[in-house]
Structure 1
Amino acid sequence: MVTYRHLGSSGLKITEITYGNWLTHGSQVEADTATACVHTALDLGITSFDTADVYANTVAEEVLGRALAGQRRESLEIFTKVYWPVGPKGPNDVGLSRKHIMEGIDGSLRRLGTDYVDLYQAHRYDYATPLEETMQAFADVVRSGKALYIGVSEWTADQIRAGQELATQMGFRLVSNQPQYSALWRVIEEKVIPTSKELGLGQIVWSPMAQGVLSGKYLPGQKPPAGSRATDDKGGQQMISRWMRDDILTAVQGLRPVAQEAGLSLPQLALAWVLQNPNVSAAIIGASRPEQLEENVRASGVVLDPEVMAAVDTALQGAVLTDPALTTSPQERPA
């Protein structure tokens, strides 16, 4: 079964393998398959589920809500997010204004079929809204009981520090950050993680397999497998494009003997690698079919020897991105 970890310094425990439905529910995967994946996740011991209003323009929340219907609500940890344009994408259907946050939480709860979410997250930093306004809205969401905890996603270390200072003044605390993090994408290690440790935030990391590249299924010099994310024109292809270079794909193939020596598959190695960081509370995984979950949850509880961690670094030398400046939010609200 999947191991639990505390979410940052809070008292909330979440499964260190968390199920997320970005790029799948409502877009890549039919509703029946999506429901089967959610039920398989539950059977495997996953109780934490991450979504966002922007995924498939609100449809992903609806699919997750239907898939979780009938489950004991107290036994689940449901996360969602607000920031990106949704619905008809009008001028106030985006960002972290008080109007959008208050309307956003109500819409998310309605679609998810629940009275509250365990974690409500600022999906990016909003330069168009005073931070005080955003934090006050989140404080009111917590006091109303519509969200139990507040987190952020892809905020810089300085933004996290400023947000936590205001949150504390307003009677709540930020408990989490949701950044991209993998053996290939390590940009949070220099600044975001030390700041988060100091301030009590845990990382709920997305794309721990670098959009699937660290699974090893993409081979240098060959076309991507049919039906893979690299062939998806609804968003997956664009996200994975940065990794689809032969030098990177060749480096990833160098992880095969490392994984074999550790008794793991390549996806399991990728997930276990991010979970070795003590500031990581959970790694988010998606699935287009239930069997993927059955393999990936076996990474839970795995402890990698220092020799294995060093071998990963050696194999990926030259392919890893570490520049903290790559943690960014749009300077202007997206339309």
Structure 2
Amino acid sequence: MDFRHLGNSGLKISAISYGNWLTHGSQVEADVATACVRQALEEGITTFDTADVYANTAAESVLGDALAGERRESLEIFTKVYWPTGPRGHNDSGLSRKHIMESINGSLRRLQTDYVDLYQAHRYDVETPLEETMQAFADVVRSGKALYIGVSEWTAEQLRAGHALAQDLGIQLISSQPQYSMLWRVIEAEVVPTSEELGISQIVWSPIAQGVLTGKYKPGQPAPEGSRATDDKGGADMVSRFMDDDLLGRVQKLQPIADDAGLSMAQLAVAWVLQNPNVASAIIGASRPEQVTDNVKAAGVTLDAEVLASIDDVLGDVVVRDPAMTARNAPKHRPS
């Protein structure tokens, strides 16, 4: 396993991190989830990413149970706050001081730890002054309940404003967690250059594009039974943007490139995002332990310029690059 600095901090994290969105507490049973976490540890993964909203807090509990007994100092545990949790009351979402302070306590209890290494704003809250949010985060850090602060799916402008306030408050905003893959490159034009300037790293989610880049979805054919595209609990909505015959046909043409590189399609996809020097870690998920073992093999892989060019030639104009997509997909009001 490779380890990389997160932002301009002294914290190192595993280049492959394990995330439990859409799996723990919902798609897979607790014993299978625990087996996946144990396999991640066996493969050298030390960084684990979750959020309070995943399975309405159940995912944090499953992860806490799975990591119980491990040496805490040897792990990097990340969680997030913003989306509705609990009974979805009027203060059960967002980045108000009230919700942040209550949420960190709940997350620590479920994760069975005294602190998280990284506490992340899961989206930007348009209904709360940024000053209030960053002050609350600063107080969470000063109380010892989080070591560093990060964000998820913020625009370059929002990153710059949040980073400036963090500096004024004497805390470290060191990470951004965006969607990023061969097919979804909207961060490259603005978020990545801004992050490089500010000393912020990317921890990217969906590097395999919701499983599309494994090649399991074939053009003109129904999605395999049990796949994410058939999951009406949320997976199908996320993968639907990629379920286009032209796009799926081009993904099939990546197979020879993966074969020549000695990689599976999934390994090629994960290795591709790790070629970006601003990416500190790629988050993988799993519903079976063997998926962890397969994906981890992407760590340390170097793809040469010819391979990267071949990927671009194959995918062509199906790649989404518009930086405005980050703002376009962001919540326009606090969810309830």
- TM-superposed CA distance for 1:270, in Å, is 0.2
Tell me which residue corresponds to 1:264.
263
Which residue of structure 2 aligns with residue 143 of structure 1?
142
Please name the residue that 2:217 is paired with: 218
Deviation at residue 91 of structure 1 after TM alignment: 0.5
**1:331: Cα distance to partner?**
1.6
Q: Percent identity?
A: 73
Per-residue CA deviation, residues 196-238 of structure 1 (Å, 9 max, x unaligned), is 0000000000000100000111111111111111111111011
Q: What's the counterpart of residue 70 of structure 2?
A: 71
SS in structure 2 at match of 1:304: coil
Classify the secondary structure of the residue corresponding to 2:307: helix
Report the equivalent of 1:124. Answer: 123
Cα RMSD (Å) of the superposition? 0.5
Partner of 1:84: 83
Tell me by how many angstroms 1:257 deviates.
0.8
Partners of 1:220 and 1:299 in 2: CA distance: 26
Runs (4+) off by over 2 Å: none
User: Which residue in 2 is equivalent to 1:333?
Assistant: 334
| 1:305 partnered with 2:307 | no
Q: What does residue 323 of structure 2 align with?
A: 324
Three-state SS of the structure 2 residue aligned to 1:88 is coil
Q: Aligned AA for 1:79?
A: F
Distance in 2 separating the partners of 1:234 and 1:153? 22
Which amino acid letter does the alignment assign opposite residue 215 of structure 1?
Answer: T
Give the deviation of 1:334 after TM superposition.
1.1
The amino acid across from 1:238 in the alignment is D
* Cα distance in structure 2, aligned partners of 1:47 and 1:223: 37
Aligned to 2:238: 239
Distance 1:41 1:164 in 2: 32
- Per-residue CA deviations over 1:127-169 (Å, capped at 9, x if unaligned) read 0000000000000000000000000000000000000001100
Deviation at 1:261, TM superposition (A): 1.0
1:1-335 correspondence runs (5 A)? 2-328=1-327, 329-335=330-336
Q: 2:335 is aligned with what amino acid?
A: P
Q: Deviations over 1:111-139 (max 9, x none)?
A: 00000000000000000000000000000
CA distance, structure 2, for counterparts of residue 270 and residue 106 of structure 1: 36
In 2, Cα distance between the equivalents of 1:76 and 1:119? 11
Question: What one-letter code is carried by the residue in structure 2 that aligns with 1:273?
Answer: W
Q: Distance in 1 between matches of 2:47 and 2:104?
A: 18
2-structure distance, mates of 1:29, 1:326: 31
- Give the partner amino acid of 1:91: H
SS in 2 for 1:148: strand
Which stretches in structure 1 are left out of the alignment for 5+ residues? none
Instruction: Give the letter for the 2:299 counterpart.
Output: S
CA distance in 1, matches of 2:90, 2:322: 33
Q: Report the Cα distance in structure 2 between the residues aligned to 1:330 and 1:212, rounded to whole angstroms.
A: 25
SS in 2 for 1:5: strand
TM-aligned CA deviation for residue 28 of structure 1: 0.6
**Any idea what SS the aligned residue of 1:78 has?**
strand
**TM-score, normalised with respect to structure 1:** 0.99
Deviation of 1:301 (Å): 0.1
Q: SS of the counterpart of 1:312?
A: helix
3-state secondary structure, aligned to 2:7: coil
Pairwise CA distance, 1:76: 0.4
Per-residue deviation at 1:27?
Answer: 0.8
Counterpart-to-counterpart distance in 2, 1:175 and 1:181: 18
Q: Hey, what's the Cα distance between the residues in 1 that align with 2:220 and 2:241?
A: 15
Shift of 1:9: 1.0
TM-score scaled by structure 2? 0.99
The AA in structure 1 aligned to 2:311 is V
Distance 2:256 2:65 in 1: 42
Amino acid at match of 2:332: Q
Which amino acid is the alignment partner of residue 64 of structure 1? L
- CA distance in structure 2 between the aligned counterparts of 1:96 and 1:330, rounded to whole angstroms: 13
Question: Is there any run of 5+ residues in structure 2 with no aligned partner, and where?
Answer: none
Q: Deviations over 1:51-72 (max 9, x none)?
A: 0000000000000000000000
